Structure 1
Amino acid sequence: MMVIIMDNLIDISIIGYIAGTLTTFASLPQLIKSLKEKDMSNISLTFVITFTTGLSLWLVYGILRNDYPIIVFNILSLMFWIPITYLKIKDTLKKRKLS
């Protein structure tokens, strides 16, 4: 009985790692494009702030649950989205200053 439960937990973790990999690295092309073009106008400030806050809360949740896939992939996602958030805020402030 215990072996079956352990096998199921391993399978569940694999699903978590695959899902985390896909959702985390889906952000990478946007970060590369934004850095390369130095243009953040195609990204909503509200989205960026809400998404980054959500990732931060998922990280806290993962830490509280001691759930490694959630912890690992939210740290990685934040590594992508914190720079995007910084660039978007900087771009927004720059455009408001020019107006």
Structure 2
Amino acid sequence: MQFTRTKANAARMEHIGYGIGLMAAALTSLSYIPQVRKAYPKGATSDLSVKTLAALGAGLALWIVCGMIRSDTVVIVANMLGLGLVAVLLVFKIRDIRRA
């Protein structure tokens, strides 16, 4: 099968790439939800590392900046969602540290 590069094919591939990006962003961002649900009860964050969550949060924040520089809405929104969920996990972890 030979792929002929035309404007129509390029536009189609751009749309397919955008759709794949949206699906990947949704899956990776929403993957934090089970962890948030598990951490919600008081005292349920003993398995979470503050350093790991902080590093993950910093990485997600840098992806947001990268998305802004590149004007990539999918990268911005996905990482903002992920950062929000990681922030919730950090809040739960700090809550549990203070109660211990």
The two structures have a TM-score, normalised by structure 1, of 0.85
Q: Does 1:50 align with 2:30?
A: no
Identity of aligned residues (%): 27
Aligned residues: 95
Q: Displacement, 1:37?
A: 4.5
Unaligned runs of 5+ in 1: none
Q: What value does the CA root-mean-square deviation take over the aligned residues?
A: 1.6
Q: Which amino acid aligns with 1:55?
A: L
Residue aligned with 1:36, SS: coil
Which residue number corresponds to residue 25 of structure 1? 30
Measured in 1, the distance between the counterparts of 2:10 and 2:43 equals 50
Unaligned runs of 5+ in 2: 1-5
Question: 1:61 pairs with 66, 73, 83, which one?
Answer: 66
CA contact (8 A) 1:52 1:85 kept: no
Highest Rg: 1 or 2?
Answer: 2
Which residue number corresponds to residue 7 of structure 1? 12
Q: Does 1:73 align with 2:75?
A: no
The two structures have a TM-score, normalised by structure 2, of 0.84
Larger helix fraction of residues:
1
